[in-house]
């Protein structure tokens, strides 16, 4: 579950940097500022978000609380975007 949270955070950070046109993150160039990345970073952020739900489904899909986990993560995304 910790990895899902980390990937969710990465999704938020990559997307936020592109939207805000940030130049650096943690004293390094933002992901989208790398010459080989550019606007592909938008797709990368979508992949990161998708991996969150893939991990939850893979590791918690048979648990009775699976639906609640998905709902919780969706609520966080909706409140953060």
pTM of the model: 0.89
- With b for 16 or more beta-carbon neighbours within 10 A and e for fewer, the 18-43 pattern comes to beeeeeeeeeeebbbbeeebeeebee
As given in the structure block, the two tokens for residue 54 are 């893939």
Residues ≥6 apart with Cβ < 8 Å to 74: none
pLDDT (tens digit per residue) in 30-78: 999 999 999 999 999 999 999 999 999 999 999 999 999 999 999 999 9
How many residues are recorded in the chain? 81
The distance between the two most distant Cα atoms of the chain, rounded to a whole number of Å, is 45
């Amino acid at each position: 579950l910790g990895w899902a949270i980390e990937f969710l955070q990465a999704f938020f950070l990559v997307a936020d940097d592109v939207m805000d046109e940030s130049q650096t993150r943690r004293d390094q160039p933002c992901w989208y500022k790398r010459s080989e990345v550019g606007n592909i970073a938008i797709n990368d952020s979508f992949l990161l978000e998708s991996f969150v739900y893939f991990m939850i489904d893979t590791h918690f899909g048979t648990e009775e609380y699976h639906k609640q986990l998905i709902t919780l993560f969706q609520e966080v995304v909706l409140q953060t975007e």
